[in-house]
A and B are shown apart, each in its own frame.
Chain A
Amino acid sequence: MSALRLISDSLKSNRPKGAGSRPLVLCLGLGMALVVACQKKPGEGASEASPERAEVSKTGAGQAVHSGQAATAGAGAGAEAAAAEKPASDSAAAALGAPEGGDVILLGEVGSLTGAQATFGISTRNGIELAIRDINEKGGVRGKKLAVRVYDNQGKPEESANAMTRLIAQDKVVLILGEVASTNSLAMAPKAQASQVPMISPSSTNPKVTEVGDYIFRVCFIDPFQGFVMAKFARDHLKATSAAILKDQKSDYSIGLTEVFTEQFTKLGGKVVSTEAYAQGDTDFRAQLTAIRRTKPDVLYIPGYYTDVGLIARQAKQLGVKSVLLGSDGWESAKLFELGGTAIEGSYLSNHYAMNDPSPAAKAFREKYKAAYGATPDSLAALGYDAAMVAADALARAKDLSGPSVRDAIAATKDFPGVAGRISLNDKRNAVKPAVVLKVGNGTLEYVTTIQPDA
Chain B
Amino acid sequence: MTETTGVRLRADHVSIRFGGLLALSDFSLEIRGGDLKGLIGPNGAGKTTAFNVLTGVYRPTSGAVVVAGMRADGKKPHQINRLGLARTFQNIRLFKELSVIDNVKVASLSDTHPIFKPKALARAGRLPGGDYWRAALEASNNYYDWWRALLLSPGYLREEREITERSEAMLSVMGLWHRRHEVAKSLPYGEQRRLEIARALATKPKVLLLDEPAAGMNTKEKADLMVLIRELRDRFSLGVLVIEHDMKLVMGICEVITVLDHGETIAVGTPAEVRRDPKVIEAYLGDAFVEAQKASTAKSAPSEAMTSAHPEMSAHPEMSAHPEISAHPEDRSARPVPELILEAKDLVVSYGAVTAVRGISLAVRKGQLVALIGGNGAGKTSTLRAISGMIKPAGGSVRFLGEDITGAKAHVLVPRGMAHAPEGRGIFLNLTVEENLMLGAYLRRDAAEIEHDAERCYGLFPILKQRRRQVAGTLSGGEQQMLALSRALMNRPRLLLLDEPSLGLAPQIVDTIFEVLKDVNASGVSVLLVEQNAHLALSLAHVGYVLETGQIVTEGPGPTLLTSPEIRKAYLGES
Contacts and interface: CB of A to CB of B under 8 A. Distances in A.
Q: Do A and B bind each other?
A: yes
B117 A18 contact: no
B115 A13 contact: yes
Contact of B151 (A6, A10, A18): A18
A6 B115 CA distance: 11
B155 A17 contact: yes
Nearest to B150: A20
A18 B155 contact: yes
A15 to B, nearest CB: 6
A2 B119 CA distance: 12
B328 interface: no
Interface in B108-128: 113, 115-117, 119-120, 123-124, 126-127
11 contacts: A3-B127, A6-B123, A9-B116, A10-B116, A13-B116, A16-B148, A16-B158, A18-B155, A19-B152, A20-B144, A20-B153
A2 B113 contact: no
Interface residues of B, number: 22
Given A2-B123, A16-B148, A16-B156, 9 more contacts: A2-B127, A9-B117, A9-B120, A10-B115, A10-B120, A13-B116, A13-B120, A18-B151, A20-B153
Contacts of A87: none
A45 interface: no
B442 interface: no
Interface string A10-29: 10011111111001100000
A442 B457 CA distance: 64
A5 interface: yes
Best-buried of A10, A14, A15, A24 by chain B (most CB within 10 Å): A10
B138 to A, nearest CB: 12
B147 interface: yes
Interface in B126-157: 126-127, 137, 144, 147-148, 151-156
Contact of B119 (A9, A15, A18, A24): A9
Contacts of B156: 16, 18, 20
A34 B124 CA distance: 31
A1 to B, nearest CB: 10
Nearest to A7: B120
Nearest to B147: A20
Contacts of B159: 16
A13 B117 contact: yes
A5 B119 CA distance: 11
A18 B153 contact: yes
Label chain B's interface by main secondary structure: helix
B117 A20 contact: no
A16 B124 contact: no
B148 A20 contact: yes
Nearest to B112: A16
Contact of B113 (A3, A6, A10, A16): A16
A444 B156 CA distance: 76
A39 B41 CA distance: 78
Contacts of B154: 16, 18
8 pairs of A and B residues whose beta carbons are closest in the complex:
A16-B155, A18-B153, A13-B117, A9-B120, A20-B153, A19-B151, A20-B148, A18-B155
A308 B148 CA distance: 57
Nearest to B148: A20
Interface in B364-399: none
Contacts of A23: 151
What is the size category of the interface that chain A forms with chain B?
10 to 19
A10 B124 CA distance: 11
A16 B145 CA distance: 11
A153 to B, nearest CB: 38
A3 B125 CA distance: 11
A16 B126 CA distance: 27
A183 B501 CA distance: 68
A24 B115 CA distance: 13
Interface in B14-44: none
A9 to B, nearest CB: 5
Given A5-B123, A6-B123, A13-B120, A18 B115 contact: no
A13 B155 CA distance: 13
A265 to B, nearest CB: 61
Contacts of B124: 6
Contacts of A20: 144, 147-148, 151, 153, 155-156
A2 B147 CA distance: 27
A13 B159 CA distance: 16
A5 B122 CA distance: 12
A3 to B, nearest CB: 6
A9 B123 CA distance: 10
Contacts of A15: 113, 155
A395 to B, nearest CB: 57
Nearest to A16: B155
A6 B120 CA distance: 6
B548 to A, nearest CB: 57
Contact of A18 (B116, B120, B148): B148
Nearest to B126: A2
A356 to B, nearest CB: 58
Interface string A348-380: 000000000000000000000000000000000
Contacts of B116: 9-10, 13
A9 B126 CA distance: 15
A10 B159 CA distance: 19
Contacts of A10: 115-117, 120, 137
B540 to A, nearest CB: 68
Nearest to B113: A16
Interface string B504-524: 000000000000000000000
Contacts of B144: 20
B196 to A, nearest CB: 32
Contacts of B151: 18-20, 23
Contacts of A2: 123, 126-127
Contacts of B137: 10
A16 B159 CA distance: 10
B153 A19 contact: yes
Nearest to A17: B155
Contacts of B127: 2-3, 6
Interface string B224-253: 000000000000000000000000000000
B475 to A, nearest CB: 45
B40 to A, nearest CB: 48
Contacts of B153: 16, 18-20
Contacts of B152: 19
